[in-house]
Amino acid sequence: MANNGNSRLKSCASSSPQITNAAEYFSGLAQVFQRLPHEQVDRICDVLLRAHEESRRVFIFGNGGSAALASHLACDLGKGATERIHEGRRFRVIALTDSVPMMTAWANDSSYEDIFAEQLRNLVEAGDLVFAISASGNSPNVLKALALARREDAFCVGLTGFAGGKMKNLCDLCLVVPSDNMQLIEDVHLSIAHALFTTIRHRLENGLALANAKFATAAP
């Protein structure tokens, strides 16, 4: 895995202009936001709302910074999206990154590639939503979990960057951030998560979820 990471970083360095100061960084970030397909964010929002309306479970996971985002998004959906709604259903959302004992047990006794897939094996059912975050799109443990989710007829959503990696072909709906800079991709992933949360909260609080559910689609 270390070799995969090194090659990815080398590829990024060779294909992206070098960023040498804050102004260049934020200019690059603004350019990525301009190219971001906003309609794909809205489609992911629709899919999440459909899972909410059908009381499906939502499983979120990723590595490194993406692991932190998985936990962050699970908190936003599980608490923030519905905390001001005193009646009605809430998101049944689980971040597979949150149990250190479970992840280290599978990593130690089986393989690091199994830390998400084996958790899913215990819990996932047909119709559940599996939400994978990987800036490279090639993290083996993310790919293995997505493959298992597809076998179990779960709906697979992905956030990635670069060219989408192998993850793109394992997702029913995949948003590829148009950048080959790891840090810019992760920044945009966080903004996408906040856009999802903010839109979902608005629609739930204003009774718009059911009205817009028909726009949720199963194809990327």
Report CA dihedral (151, 197, 28, 162) to the nearest 10 degrees. Answer: 0
Instruction: Pick left, alpha or beta for residue 153 (phi over 0 → left; psi -120 to 50 → alpha; otherwise beta).
Output: left
Paired tokens of 154: 């779960």
Q: Give the pLDDT confidence score for residue 208 in this predicted structure.
A: 74
Domain-located, residue 210: yes
Domain-located, residue 30: no
Provide the domain limits for residue 70: 38-214
Cα gap 54→4, rounded to integer Å: 39
Q: Give the pLDDT confidence score for residue 88 in this predicted structure.
A: 74
Cα gap 142→134, rounded to integer Å: 7
Paired tokens of 64: 């490194």
Q: Give the pLDDT confidence score for residue 45 in this predicted structure.
A: 96
φ, ψ at 124 (rounded to 5°): -70, 145
Cα gap 88→79, rounded to integer Å: 13
Cα gap 4→20, rounded to integer Å: 25
Domain-located, residue 68: yes
Q: Give the pLDDT confidence score for residue 67 in this predicted structure.
A: 97
Q: Residue 136 corresponds to which amino acid?
A: S
Domain-located, residue 219: no
Paired tokens of 20: 């040498």
Alpha carbon 101 to its chain's center:
22
Domain-located, residue 29: no
Domain-located, residue 46: yes
Instruction: Report the number of distinct structural domains present in the chain.
Output: 1
Say which CATH number the domain at 155 has. 3.40.50.10490
Q: Which residue has the tokens 């920044």?
A: 187
pTM (predicted TM-score):
0.86
Domain-located, residue 205: yes
In a 13 Å sphere around the CA of 7, the CA atoms on its Cβ side amount to 6
φ, ψ at 54 (rounded to 5°): -95, 5
Helices (H), the chain: 2-15, 22-35, 38-53, 65-75, 100-109, 117-123, 140-151, 182-205, 209-212
Encode the chain (220 residues) as per-residue pLDDT tens digits. 334 444 444 334 334 668 899 999 999 999 999 999 999 999 999 999 999 999 999 999 999 999 999 999 999 999 988 767 767 788 999 999 999 999 999 999 999 999 999 999 999 999 999 999 999 999 999 999 999 999 999 999 999 999 999 999 999 999 999 999 999 999 999 999 999 999 999 998 888 765 444 434 443 3
Q: Give the pLDDT confidence score for residue 17 in this predicted structure.
A: 66
Question: Do residues 173 and 44 touch, judged by C-beta distance below 8 A?
Answer: yes
Domain-located, residue 192: yes
